[in-house]
Structure 1
Amino acid sequence: MWDAKDFPDKPIALVMNSWVSGLGVVRSLGVKGVPILALDPDPWAFGLYSKYARRSICPDPLRSEEAFVDFLIDIGKRLPVRGILFPTADPYVVAIAKARDRLERYFWIPFSPWKIIREIVDKELQYKKAAKADIPIPETFFPKSKLEAEEIGKTIKYPVILKPAYSHPFVANYGIKAVKVNSRQELTREYEKYTSAGHKMLVQEIVGREGDELYEFFSYTDRAGEPVASFVQRKLEQFPADFGTGTVFESADEPEIVELGLKLLKAFGYYGISFSEFKRDPAAPYGRPVGADGEFKLMELNPRTTHCNDLATACGVNFPHIVYEHLLGKAMEKTDAYPCGRRTGLASLGVRWIHLEERLSKQRKILIRVGRRGASGNKRIIFAVFTSSDPVPELVYIFHAVYLRARNFLAAVRALLVKSLSGKK
């Protein structure tokens, strides 16, 4: 737990969503001696138990933005100096952006105002603005009714994906990012299912093969839109296979991704920390066949840290600390040089990040492996949770996994007993 006396004079960093992404931020700041308060609604969030942070359970912004903001303000009133907020998931970003005027008295906020954030978190607005700025996007439709969805379904080539305009409440409700649809009837049925539950849905082409050629552009830009730091990483493996969360990433050198990423941020007038994901379409442009080099298309832009931000830190681009120092007014040199995943023969020179626990917990057949071209010759591998210098989060992860399996087993046994006893009556 924490007390304001623990942070006498140095600005603290409040890190929200203390799972993998939050843990990476905590460790990146902790090694630099930054005082940290880790927050999460779930006491099982293993990042809360890092040796680098004090911890506190906070309200869930997805359930009550007002309660969460009031909680932050209460913390701010108790701090001796202004703190810095590091939200690492969309619900926290949205709540903070909406309440920016109330929070800025107590905290530095490392991203743009709500009027810009709103255009990013709504994928319909995001894709339309990106297309207007000549950023390539997948072919996307925005039906406003079941009838419009039916008409779209008559003309498109299957399979396609059905995805939410607002991803964070959709993921919270269903545990998935998107739905793969294989027919017109299925499209109409799934569209009606999710829109009747209050979700605005988009219909989008599937770009390329499953998971192949996915890159992320991680950056921090100043208020003039100029990059203070930038980093490119390639997603090598993800779960689920179609539209999943990355389990293996590698540092990469792809100048086209940097160019597209900066152009995208300028189109929105965005400043602060962000990451954008692009995927190479092997059939584009001009209908080139699969396997040929094609253009990169925007998958999504997010106004927050990436899932594996500590990969950049391991490569010498410590985004959380760069943000911390920059917001406190310290002069910063542009940071964009790092060990990259340039391939030489069968070897890769990049640094690789692996979420080992997630990989081991899933069946191999439902993971998509993208790094198929040759053996890995990485100079360095880092793990998402485990590190000998900060072992407690890994122990919490293991204990929680064992607890969940035991609970599920006992629930299954109980269900069988109830069924057996009811059958004897």
Structure 2
Amino acid sequence: MKNKAVVLGANYYIGLSIIRCLGIHNIPVVAVDYSKKGTYGFHSKYLSEKLIGPDCKKDPEGLLSFLIDYAKKQEMPPVLFPTADGYAEFIDKYLPTLSKYYLINQTEQGLFTKVINKETLHSLAKEHNILVPETVYVNEVDFEKKVEENIKFPCLVKPTNSPEFVAHFRKKLFKVYSMEELKDAIKKSEDANLEVIIQRIIPGFDDHMYTFDAYLNQDSKVSHWMTCQKLRQFPINYGASVYTVQKHVPELYEIGGKFLEDIGFKGFAEIEFKKDADTGKFYMIEINARTTNLNSLLYKAGINMPYLAYSELTGQLPEDYAIKEDTNIAFWYGYEDLLAIKAYRKSKQLALGEILKTFNRPKAYAIWDVKDPMPAFAFLGNKFKRVFSKIGEKFNS
């Protein structure tokens, strides 16, 4: 009897990619979500169980009890996988209790939250001499003067807690061009009870965004890693990856690997960097303390991060490995990439020729898998339902 893998969240392709990465090894995979509606990961052939539980944001105590009750019924402790920041923060909050019933990579309570939160991450990065964008805090003395002298306009108003900000505003940040716009963005955030920071924009187009993706063993040592370069994201300029290519950048290992080891991180982490177009220096932007959008790319390139976690926690970690060459493989989320391309073209940031030449690569798809096609069909079905619903609303209005 194998330990089960419990995946928190199946309504997005990150959860789906974890399900597949474990299912191909005949690991019994259990997906937990708070609703069946739009949860296309539930349609994967690799799932052993589909469970509906409480929402981690609306009823975290309820989800905790739900997971404990489930684990008590199992012969062996399941391995727990978060698929989004909200789930990672949930695990972090209840880590001492959950660790009694589940196998979890991270053993230091508070570390997940510390690296997810922009304010605490920046303090941590500075302690370890990692470059981060120049930042001014709203509660600083003479913060307006500091913005005008050190940050300058345009600048970014970013949340310290991204999941809550995105849930409220449906965007990752505010880009402001004047003091008036800055004050307005701060007021909107304060009205929503959300903390924000003000940051300098690091010069460089979207292709100056890079990632360092790594697995750290239970001794907090990097055992597996690779690096990637974003080419397009959505929303454009400040969004999530929709077209990213694996690109070997040794310098990111030197920066990111040492940092993660020094802070005692365990399990999977992705550090997002931006390369300053003027200086060539890499600035740390954020850390994802859970599986990310690029998981299907990591797997196709040769590193199965969810399987590494499962293997180490239930037995033995496979031998160290890193991708130290350019494989030319690209992650592609076709649906949102089409929206991004439209926006890039409209804003004249990319020429059609520049876009077309990027497609001549082997691809790791976000949702589509010829061996597991039903989630993609379910995803398309959900989109068609929305379109027809909007058409019906217009027709009846």
1:155-186 Cα distance to aligned partner (Å, 9 max, x none): 33111010000111111111111111111110
Larger radius of gyration: 1
What is the CA-CA distance between 1:118 and the residue it aligns to?
A: 2.8
Q: What does 1:402-421 correspond to in 2, within 5 Å?
A: 402-414=384-396, 417=397
- Provide the rounded CA distance (Å) in 1 between the counterparts of 2:274 and 2:380: 34
**In the alignment, is the contact (CA less than 8 A) between 1:21 and 1:306 conserved in 2?**
yes
Tell whether 2:7 aligns with 1:12.
no
Tell whether 2:295 aligns with 1:300.
no
Q: What does 1:210-289 correspond to in 2, within 5 Å?
A: 210-284=205-279
CA root-mean-square deviation: 2.2
Q: 1:115 aligns with which of 110, 115, 125?
A: 110
- Provide the rounded CA distance (Å) in 2 between the counterparts of 1:373 and 1:211: 13
- Provide the rounded CA distance (Å) in 2 between the counterparts of 1:329 and 1:394: 33
Give the counterpart letter for 1:405 in structure 2: V
What is the CA-CA distance between 1:279 and the residue it aligns to?
A: 0.8
Q: What is the match of residue 367 of structure 2? A: 385
What is the CA-CA distance between 1:117 and the residue it aligns to?
A: 2.0
- Provide the rounded CA distance (Å) in 1 between the counterparts of 2:375 and 2:317: 34
Paired positions, count: 389
Tell whether 2:46 aligns with 1:52.
yes
Q: What does 1:27-46 correspond to in 2, within 5 Å?
A: 27-43=20-36, 44-46=38-40
**In the alignment, is the contact (CA less than 8 A) between 2:236 and 2:340 conserved in 1?**
no
**In the alignment, is the contact (CA less than 8 A) between 1:40 and 1:60 conserved in 2?**
yes
What is the CA-CA distance between 1:331 and the residue it aligns to?
A: 4.4
1:51 counterpart SS class:
coil
1:42-78 Cα distance to aligned partner (Å, 9 max, x none): 3212112100012122222122211111111121111
**In the alignment, is the contact (CA less than 8 A) between 1:140 and 1:205 conserved in 2?**
yes
Tell whether 2:347 aligns with 1:354.
no
1:299 counterpart SS class:
strand
**In the alignment, is the contact (CA less than 8 A) between 1:117 and 1:303 conserved in 2?**
yes
- Provide the rounded CA distance (Å) in 1 between the counterparts of 2:75 and 2:371: 30
2:322 counterpart SS class:
coil
- Provide the rounded CA distance (Å) in 1 between the counterparts of 2:360 and 2:217: 33
What is the CA-CA distance between 1:264 and the residue it aligns to?
A: 2.0
What is the CA-CA distance between 1:352 and the residue it aligns to?
A: 1.2
**In the alignment, is the contact (CA less than 8 A) between 1:83 and 1:107 conserved in 2?**
yes
**In the alignment, is the contact (CA less than 8 A) between 1:137 and 1:297 conserved in 2?**
yes
Tell whether 2:318 aligns with 1:332.
yes
2:172 counterpart SS class:
coil
- Provide the rounded CA distance (Å) in 2 between the counterparts of 1:31 and 1:209: 39
- The 1:159–1:377 alpha-carbon spacing in structure 2 relative to 1, beyond 3 Å, is closer
Q: 1:365 aligns with which of 326, 338, 343?
A: 343
- Provide the rounded CA distance (Å) in 2 between the counterparts of 1:404 and 1:152: 46
Q: What is the match of residue 187 of structure 1? A: 182
TM-score calculated relative to the size of structure 1:
0.86
What is the CA-CA distance between 1:211 and the residue it aligns to?
A: 1.4
Q: 1:173 aligns with which of 149, 168, 179?
A: 168
What is the CA-CA distance between 1:215 and the residue it aligns to?
A: 1.0
Give the counterpart letter for 2:273 in structure 1: F
Between 1:194-203 and 1:402-411, the stretch displaced more is: 402-411
Tell whether 2:269 aligns with 1:311.
no
- The 1:133–1:372 alpha-carbon spacing in structure 2 relative to 1, beyond 3 Å, is farther
Q: What is the match of residue 199 of structure 1? A: 194
- Provide the rounded CA distance (Å) in 2 between the counterparts of 1:226 and 1:280: 25
- The 1:387–1:331 alpha-carbon spacing in structure 2 relative to 1, beyond 3 Å, is closer
What is the CA-CA distance between 1:310 and the residue it aligns to?
A: 1.4
**In the alignment, is the contact (CA less than 8 A) between 1:16 and 1:88 conserved in 2?**
yes
Tell whether 2:8 aligns with 1:22.
no
**In the alignment, is the contact (CA less than 8 A) between 2:344 and 2:350 conserved in 1?**
no
1:113-160 Cα distance to aligned partner (Å, 9 max, x none): 222223212210101110121101111111227x85534444331110
**In the alignment, is the contact (CA less than 8 A) between 1:62 and 1:169 conserved in 2?**
no
Tell whether 2:83 aligns with 1:82.
no
1:48 counterpart SS class:
helix
> Which stretches in structure 1 are left out of the alignment for 5+ residues?
1-8, 285-293, 342-348, 418-425
What is the CA-CA distance between 1:373 and the residue it aligns to?
A: 9.6
- Provide the rounded CA distance (Å) in 2 between the counterparts of 1:267 and 1:96: 22
Q: What does 1:108-187 correspond to in 2, within 5 Å?
A: 108-144=103-139, 149-155=143-149, 156-187=151-182
- Provide the rounded CA distance (Å) in 1 between the counterparts of 2:33 and 2:344: 29
